[in-house]
Each structure stands twice: as C-alpha cells, then as structure tokens.
Amino acid sequence: MIPAAQLDYWVLSPLFVVAGFAVLGLILEAALGRRYRFVVQTIATAIGLVAALVVSVLVYGDLRTPEEAGHVARGAVEAEGAVTVDGPGVITWIMLLVFALLSLGLFAERRFEAGMSPFTGRAADIPGSDEESQAVQHRLEHTEVFPLMLFALSGMMLFATANDLITMFVALEVLSLPLYVLCALSRRRRLISQEAAMKYFLLGAFSSVFFLYGAALAYGYSGSLNLTIIDEAVSARADSGGLLLVAMAMIAVGLLFKIGAVPFHAWTPDVYQGAPTPVTGFMAAATKAAAFIALMRVFFVAFGGASWDWRPTFWVVAVITMVFGSVVAIAQTDVKRMLAYSSIAHAGFLLVGFSAAYVGIANEAVLTSVSSVLFYLVVYGVATIGAFAVVSVVRDSAGETTHLAKWTGLGQRSPWLAGTFALFMLSFAGIPLTAGFIGKWGVFAAAWAGGTWPLVVIGVLASALAAYFYVRVIVLMFFTEPVGDGPTVAAPGVLTTVVIALAAIVTVVLGVLPGPLLDIVQHAGAFVR
C-alpha cells in the first residue's frame, strides 16, 4: 500500500490559484474566438492574480510562530517536505503577485502599436516576411503571453518556497521556459528579440545543469535532497569534505545565474535589451526576487552549518558584482542596457546583505539578512517595473527609442514623465527620501551587524560610483539641449499611466514612511527548517 500524500490545501492555495488560472488561460485560448481572446485573457489573468494575492495575505496571517534556535521562524514544512510555507516565503509570494499585477498593465497596453499589444502576431513568421506582413495586416496578437506569464509566476512562487532540491529544479524550469518564449515575442526589432531568447535559453540550460549536478552531489553527501536532512548531515560533519564544497559551488552557479551576479551575468544586457519591455520589467523584478529567496533558503537552511566555507566566496562575488555593474554601466549608451548593468550592481548590493548571514535574535530591532533583502527586493522591483514602463513610452516611428541621445531634453518635452524616471534613478542610486536609500541602508545594516563591515565600506563606495550614471541620465533629460526635434513621447494609455504612477508613489512613500513595511518583513522571521 502506498499512502496518500498529506496536503494542506489551504496554505498551498496561492500556488494552486496561479497554476489553475494558467491552465484556464490555455483553455480560453482554445475555446474563444480570436476577436475576444485578448480582453478575456487580460481580465482572467487579473482576477487570478488578485485572488492569489488575497489568499496569500490570509495565509500569511495564519502562519504559526514556533520558537526556533533563539529566533522566530513562522510557518511549517508542507507537501510531504517538498514545500516550506513560512514567513519569508509567503512575503515573497505577495511580492511576486504585486510585481505580476504591475507587469500585467504593461502586457495589456495596446495604445502604442496602433491598437495592438507589444507582442508579435505570429512568432513562427520569419522577420520581414510576407507572412509577418499579413499577420500585421490582419491585426493578429499573441494572447498566449498571459498564461505564459502565469506559468512563469507559478514557477517563481514554488522556487522561492521549495524545500528540496528536486522541487526547486522543477520550479526553476517552470519559471524559465515561459520566459525564454516571452523574450522572443517582441513586435518590433524581432531579430534582436529572438537572439536574446536564444542566448537566454542556451545559457539558462547550461546553468540548470550546474544546479542539477550540484543537487546530485548534495544527495551523494547527505543521502537526501531535502534541505532539512542536508542540514543535519552538514551539521554533523567532521570536516568540510570536498564533495560538499563542490556541491555548494555547483548549486551556487545555477542560482547566481538567475540573479545576474558576476561572472554569471553575460545574458543580462542582451536579454534586457532584446526582450519586449513588459517582459523585461517583469523578469527583472520577479525573477531576481524569487532567485534571491531561493539562494538564501538553500544556503541558510541546507548549508547553514558550513557558512564559513561558502561566505568568503560570496564576499568576493558581491564585491566584483557591485564594482563591475557600476563601472560598466557608465559606458552604456542604451537605456535598457544601462538598466541591465544597474540590475547587476543591485545584485551585488543584495549579496552584501546575504553574505553577512545575519539571522539575528527574537525581538531585535536590527534588520536580519532575510528581512533586509526582502525589503530591498520590494523597492527595487517596483522601481524597476516603473522605469521600464517609462522606457516603453519614449518612442518614434520605429518603436521605442532607447539610445540615450534620443532622451536628451526629455524634461522639456514631458517634464512629468522625465521627473518620474529621475525619481526611479535617484531611488536606484540610494538617495535619501527615496525607497532605494532605505533598502541600501537595510542590507548594509545587516552586513554590519553580521561583522562584514569591509563589504559595507565597498558597497558605499560602489553606490557613489553608481550614482554617476544615474545622475548622468537626469542631466541629459533636464540640463542638456535636445538634438534636432528632441525626443518623442507617446501618450501613455491608462494602464501604463497607472503603473508608472503607482511605482512612483510607492517609491516616495517607502522612502519617507518605510516603517510599516520594515515591520512586516522583520515580522516574517527566519526560514523554517
């Protein structure tokens, strides 16, 4: 007799809701006529995201709070040990769902392409072919992008809460494969979009093999793929063991690729530039958030007993990533590539908080590594989606104009739009009274409490260096005379306007009144083992 798995469907319901609406999207795609698909898919996706968000908030309120190892860890291991529904995990679910709702507004925008979406009509058509012209003439649209986004989101949610390495690998593939397809669906500049998708697919598959090989070695070391059992084996070890070190290194490669850390960053600028802008914003915010929480879960839970074996390596990666991203971003002349290298630098700042491995104690005011990274991911993700929403508005007859020279004098043409983009740049730079300042303060405070003050010093210097290229964009927009007729700004639709406005409001509010969100992420506690 094989006993049935014991599942608590309530605590797992956010995952089921998102995956269920993704499947519903496939059914709608097959059942509805082409004329009705776009609107129905948009509404169904929005309903699914809102429902999952409400359920996630309710699940978070029901989490148990057992005392564990001197600090509070809220939640429990579910699904026969495959998924951990704990405070950091559910906060990540809520964060990802908010990012998805904001990104949905950009996915559903139809104002900029003569009443069509930013996605190509038929992905199988050769760019420039007669078939592509016919697809444009008949106003065909790829409405499959909505279930693809939901499938990617379900993978991200599972990735952030997986409690064994096989579940985490399956989640990694579920989140990655839809993104590979979405990156190739740009309506404009299709060749560079397809090139970006191919690079992302090949390098992503390569990194997945590293992760899987590392999982196999971890199994060979501990006899299990469960993070808790791996932790028991690591804590009981007599020495470091070459097998364990190689396993940790292999798994780290697979996860560092997803967050875009150096030297596993090569895909980032090409994919950010070539993918459709709504996909770039969604991927930049949500994938980084899910991957960072997964990275912390693996190394804090499974390999926490070997922290002094892996922490020095992550210190080096954090320093190189911060400095490299900040320096190379200065030389960029394309806005999307600049934001790509900016994301690399931010991965380095996040690694500063992670590398400290500061777990804190109960009722302590100092932010832990987990809570500081959670706050940083929220503020960075919202500002990133807002920044890419602004990028989608600056256009000419050929589509988006992402060359920085075309942004010269934007403040004269559209002061509100340029001012909003400047706000996002200042937040990325960590200027006071913006959410980015509080985010950087949080990860640096956690690193300082964890005793890694040299990383804090280097992080502050890298932040000052990064501020140069952010301020340079502001100078171009407001204090430089436009070239020729100056930049062209398309009138944003209601959805894009709402996304930009919400992102700007959150960036300001969390910079002035960060207390409530800081309390929430601190209350999330530690990872459940």
163-207: pLDDT as tens digits: 999 999 999 999 999 999 999 888 878 888 889 999 999 999 989
**pLDDT interval class at 282 (50, 70, 90):** very high
Distance CA 467, CA 461 (A): 10
For 86, the enclosing helix (H) or strand (E) is strand 83-86
The CA-atom distances, in angstroms, between 523 and each of 61, 396, 449, 471, 520 are 11, 47, 18, 35, 5
Domain ranges across the chain: 9-523
Work out the number of other CB atoms within 10 angstroms of the CB of residue 126.
Answer: 10
Better pLDDT: 526 or 249: 249
Average pLDDT, the chain: 88
Place of tokens 């999207």: 25
Which pLDDT does position 306 carry in this prediction? 84
pLDDT of residue 70: 45
Residue 107 has pLDDT above 60, yes or no: yes
| φ and ψ at residue 83, rounded to 5 degrees | -130, 140
175 or 136, greater pLDDT: 175
Listed residue (259, 502, 512) closest to 386, CA to CA: 502
Averaged pLDDT for residues 409-427 = 90
Please report the pLDDT score of residue 68 as a whole number.
46
How far apart (Å, rounded) are the C-alpha atoms in residues 482 and 477? 8
**Segment holding 387, helix H or strand E:** helix 369-391
- What is the C-alpha to C-alpha distance for residues 510 and 378, in angstroms, rounded to an integer? 10
User: Between 147 and 140, where is the model more confident?
Assistant: 147
Alpha carbon distance 148, 167 (integer Å): 20
**What are the backbone angles phi and psi of residue 333, rounded to the nearest 5°?**
-110, 0
For helices 145-161 and 87-107, the axis angle rounded to 10 degrees is 170
